[in-house]
Structure 1
């Protein structure tokens, strides 16, 4: 009998695993799937839990510890479910077993397992009953919990993955004996290892795959640090000569105070691919369209971002363009690069045209330098151009690595011209023999070094010779781009290696690609048209103002001694949360931002064994005439209360996936008028804001208390003329 084909063998393996490795995802319907439908089609999630991994056994052990400690039915049944799935029982078989023993359904068990493994641990262990039944170890030693959490965070943030639960156990054992003034005589731990694992989970820790995280290995290299220091010193020492932005919510330009201001022009290239689309999108059932496989055709853009009040883009007016072309007729010549009208912004179609190599970059920059002379807004300004350290920008006419040691070998130039620092005079040395038996041959790096007067040790190797020669002024030459800038009186500055956060134009590409991918239909012509729309959108939304302000924030942070991780955190907070708005501290604003996705519902009827999320969506769609899906709600639960005797329903807090949805609900509160539901919907205020709200109301008369309102977590008082006054502490 002939052996089976590869296709049949593969199909047999897939079919044998089909029912045992099916993914699970809770569905909104209560109907059982048809027996002819595969489990993968019914329950398929974006990130399924792999119960068969050995790591899950340790998670099951943690859950067993919780079961023995708390005696919870939820913990026990979730552990049984995870064990059955780990043993490769299918979802349907597991559901039958759980139903047989009279426990919860698979759908509920999987929800709790998912919450335990990848969700909020506090929500998993919470019963929403209020109060605390037992006293834990850290209730007796609360100061130790703070130390332990700090220890875990510090160890988990290290690059080495040497931290274990035993490390925490030993740390707390030593601290406990130290606090009580006792001497440890036995090796036995005060608490079990399993309890420490539960503590780490409660603090938000997860034992997961050691995935690669973005970090540039050369970021803290000594030569890079030195370049970064010189780069930062250049800008901060001349800060009064640049155009800056204030710290208001809507940034405004601050004019330079120096007599001769500077204009900073940032440059970079980026490649767009027609096959790229958004990573996530909304779909209904099986209505999602097909997508083209692959990344599609490429389109490379080389652009400039100007830090100047006139415009984020460099472009001449028609009159200025006429003056420029009269002086430089070459600007009108047809070239391979596609230039923006009256501008130096360029694009090429990779694959059919060229690539942005050093020659094309020099051609583009020469066009820019020629046009800058006729820009009226830049008259009497010093022009600086900021570029990254890509090889297409740092190419030199020659380098020490282009030479070989012996005569007659590789030599890229006929002669080398340099400035002698001793005499301050320009000198020239020939790199080829002009007479003798070697006439017409290259001298070689060794003879060049001897002619320069360098002391070359005996038996010197090529690498050692290169290091020696590279220190001489003859080989410390500038790049081709810097030399071109000198011809037009423009200074070229290089961003330190591995420091893309120090180039404002990087945020420009981020916005452009996000816009294009969101609206792209995977056709090349559509992508090219979207790039133009993205440029207009970038300018209309004034995102360049935030990028300019972020640039100076990053410079100051590095100058204050912050490391790479701290700088990125500062950039993230300042960009997304506007930390300095209303002079609030970081912690206060972060709290307010996190609550800006929430709403609180008071006097919402409480029922036994209720499904709060479904009831909440039914309420919004029925009484407020909102056509919304349950997926808009990220989380929904009742708040615990310490008073077990109260008869009023416990408040419900609802967290939405997006703030626009939350705002839409607030703006639709008028739908509740006249329905006599007695349900109050308010913003979820921070404790400080709530205290300020009540204190403000207490200062007013009873008939004026309704004038106190909230907007986006802040407190306002409505004036008689309907204007609003912000109340601060």
Structure 2
């Protein structure tokens, strides 16, 4: 029975879900004892108490440590759950891709002019540096120098100095690629004689058409909206990060490592955030940073 108990502890502690407790072992021993001896349990007393089992666990080499780093949610190891974000909709991948972001912002840009309070205003959106926000269509290294060479796109869209979207066709009427050299002349860029490919790329990389402009910036330009990206790793320029930080702290502090408890804690964290009036502090910090 002792060997079975030790094997049971090893198997339970090897699992990724945090369901094993000191009270689990005496129940296992109790059930195994009556099963091995073919006896019927007549009262609620355990064959081996919880306190004795705690000593057994220490003898087996188990350690009692709190999981304070992060919560683990049952079901995370399932193949149909791709990430912890599946807590929103179990069984689905809820990360946003480029197209999701673009479609949501397009809807926002379309609605802004119709709000009475925003009439005759210039719109500026401040976004974090997530890849889904900063993804670009192409890079200058994707293009060849001479005609009929490679290019990853059919046309080049860029934002000019007036925040207007401009388009240059990469292919001519015969569907042959123009090459970087022809595009340089089309963009009125000065190209020295006997200019080599690397020199030409360096020259054109300074032009607005080849600067790293995201798809989101191009979409925003169509609706006269300007996009600003704050420096990376500066959460003070993004107040929503303060909310996520507070929510995760609240969840870690109050979780019991179960999925059902998580569903209860998420709205509680939001209510706690509002009750403590944390959002005005985040906005004040944001404006102080912007003005600085």
Query: Paired residue for 1:158?
Result: none
User: Structure 1 residue 432: deviation in Å?
Assistant: 1.3
Q: Is the 8 A contact 2:158 2:167 kept in 1?
A: yes
Please give the alpha-carbon distance, in whole angstroms, between the structure 2 residues aligned to 1:350 and 1:394: 28
State whether residues 184 and 204 of structure 2, in contact with CA within 8 Å, keep that contact through their aligned partners in structure 1.
Answer: yes
Do residues 547 (structure 1) and 282 (structure 2) align? Answer: yes
The corresponding residue for 2:252 is 517
* 2-structure distance, mates of 1:419, 1:38: 66
Aligned residue number for residue 206 of structure 2 = 471
**Are the equivalent residues in 1 in contact too, given 2:142–2:151 (CA < 8 A)?**
yes
Within 1, Cα distance between the matches of 2:193 and 2:133? 35
The residue that corresponds to 1:433 in the other structure is 172
Say whether 1:384 aligns with 2:116: no
Aligned to 1:481: 216
Closer, same or farther: CA 531–487 of 1 in aligned 2, 3 Å: farther
The equivalent of 1:368 in structure 2 is 108
CA shift, 1:468, in A, is 1.4
Secondary structure of 1:404's partner? coil
Match of 2:141 among 392, 398, 401: 401
Q: 1:366 to 1:278 in 2, by over 3 A?
A: farther
Is 2:76–2:84's contact at 8 Å kept on the other side of the alignment? Answer: no
Alpha-carbon distance in 1 for matches of 2:212, 2:138: 8
Aligned to 2:44: none
Structure 2 residue matching 1:385: 3-state secondary structure:
strand
Task: From the superposition, tell whether residues 291 and 42 of structure 1 become closer, same or farther in structure 2 (CA, over 3 Å).
Answer: farther
Q: 1:122-201 to 2 correspondence within 5 Å?
A: none
Q: TM-score, normalised by structure 1?
A: 0.27
Deviation of 1:482 after TM superposition, in Å, equals: 2.4
Contact 2:159–2:218, Cα closer than 8 Å, also in 1: no
CA 393–295 in structure 1, closer or farther in 2 if over 3 Å, else same: same
Structure 2: gaps spanning 5 or more residues: 1-51
Instruction: Please say if 1:455 is aligned against 2:191.
Output: yes
- How does 1:303-382 map onto structure 2 within 5 Å? 349=89, 352-353=92-93, 355-373=95-113
Shift of 1:384: 3.2
* In 2, Cα distance between equivalents of 1:291 and 1:354: 16
In structure 1, distance between residues paired with 2:110 and 2:195: 51
Question: Could you tell me which of 239, 243, 260 is aligned with 1:504?
Answer: 239
How far the C-alpha of 1:491 sits from its partner, in A, is: 3.0
CA offset at residue 361 of structure 1? 0.5
Distance 2:121 2:135 in 1: 28
Structure 1 or 2, whichever has the larger Rg, is: 1
Structure 1 residues 551 and 461: CA distance shift in structure 2, 3 A: same
Cα deviation, residue 360, structure 1: 0.5
3-state SS of 2:183 partner: helix
| Displacement after TM superposition at 1:526 (Å) | 4.6
Asked if the contact 2:85–2:94 (Cα under 8 Å) also holds between the matched residues in 1, the reply is no
Go from structure 1 to structure 2 and tell me whether the alpha carbon gap of 1:432 and 1:484 turns closer, same or farther (over 3 Å shift).
Answer: closer
Note the 1:129-278 alignment, pairs <5 A: 278=68
Given that 2:138 and 2:153 are in contact with CA atoms closer than 8 Å, whether structure 1 keeps it comes out as yes
Cross-structure match for 1:532: 267
- Displacement of 1:523 in angstroms is 4.5
Call closer, same or farther: CA 1:533–1:376 in 2, change over 3 Å. Answer: farther
Cα deviation digits, residues 417-461 of structure 1 (max 9, x gap): 66888xxx9986431132xxxx32222324423544431563724
More strand by share: 1
Instruction: Identify if the C-alpha distance between structure 1 residues 42 and 369 changes in structure 2 by more than 3 Å, giving closer, same or farther.
Output: same
Question: Are 2:158 and 2:165, in contact at CA under 8 Å, matched by a contact in 1?
Answer: yes
Shift of 1:542: 1.6
Closer, same or farther: CA 506–291 of 1 in aligned 2, 3 Å: closer
Q: How far 1:362 sits from its partner (Å)?
A: 0.9
State the shift of 1:495 in Å. Answer: 0.9
Query: TM-score if structure 2 supplies the norm length?
Result: 0.60
CA distance in 2, matches of 1:351, 1:457: 60
Alignment of 1:64-79 (within 5 A): none
RCO comparison, higher one (Cα < 8 Å, 6+): 2
Query: Aligned in 2, Cα 1:535/1:383: closer, same or farther, shift over 3 Å?
Result: farther
2:165 touches 2:222 (CA, 8 Å); kept in 1? Answer: no
SS at match of 2:231: coil
Could you report, residue by residue, the CA deviation over 1:63-82 in whole angstroms, capped at 9, with x for unpaired residues? xxxxxxxxxxxxxxxxxxxx
Cα offset for 1:514?
1.9
Partner Cα separation in structure 1 for residue 207 and residue 268 of structure 2: 51
Deviation at 1:391, TM superposition (A): 2.0
Unaligned runs of 5+ in 1: 1-32, 47-276, 282-289, 302-346, 560-729
Q: Given that residues 419 and 474 in structure 1 are in contact (C-alpha distance below 8 angstroms), is that contact kept between their aligned partners in structure 2?
A: yes
Q: Is the 8 A contact 1:449 1:456 kept in 2?
A: no
1:618 maps to none
Q: Structure 1 residues 405, 390: CA separation in 2 closer, same or farther (over 3 Å shift)? A: farther
